[in-house]
Amino acid sequence: MTNTVDQIITITDIAVKKFQELLFDANKKDSYLKIAIVLDGTQMQYSMDIKDELIEGDKVYTFNELKMVINEEDELLLKGLEIDYVQDEFGSEFTLHNPNMMEIYDDEDGGCCGGGCCCGH
């Protein structure tokens, strides 16, 4: 696994390679892969996008030659995120899992399963 210097995100080498291939295929090899949190009502989802420029608050993390961007507003929620790329007989996909999400939202007002959405009691 490949880690950032301060351990915000863990990403496997195969996932880094696949992201690099996607950027190359889109003729965006010098662009950034941005990971963010999107709130939709009470559900939280991860968002990935290709960005050519940085905006205020963006921090760049490098995995081999892959430049990943996380906005400082999303750092707490993304801390501990594990990204992998899996392939089986049914197809292939990027997987995102954050075991720390439960710690962030597990309080007396609600709970969280760690799968990306949180519900109140």
The answer to whether residue 21 is domain-embedded is yes
The answer to whether residue 55 is domain-embedded is yes
Work out how many domains the chain is built from and give that number.
1
Using a pLDDT cut of 90, give the percent of the chain over it. 60
What would the pLDDT profile of 92-115 be if each residue is shown by its tens digit? 999 999 887 655 455 444 444 444
* pTM, rounded to two decimals: 0.75
The answer to whether residue 28 is domain-embedded is yes
Q: In this structure, what CATH number is given to the domain that contains residue 42?
A: 2.60.300.12
The answer to whether residue 3 is domain-embedded is no
The mean pLDDT value of the chain amounts to: 82
Residue among 109, 111, 2 at smallest CA distance from 63: 2
Residue 55 backbone dihedrals phi, psi, to 5 degrees:
-120, 170
The boundaries of the domain holding residue 86 are: 9-97
The answer to whether residue 83 is domain-embedded is yes
What local confidence, expressed as pLDDT, does residue 118 receive?
45
The answer to whether residue 114 is domain-embedded is no
The answer to whether residue 58 is domain-embedded is yes
Distance in angstroms (rounded) separating the CA atoms of residues 80 and 9: 5
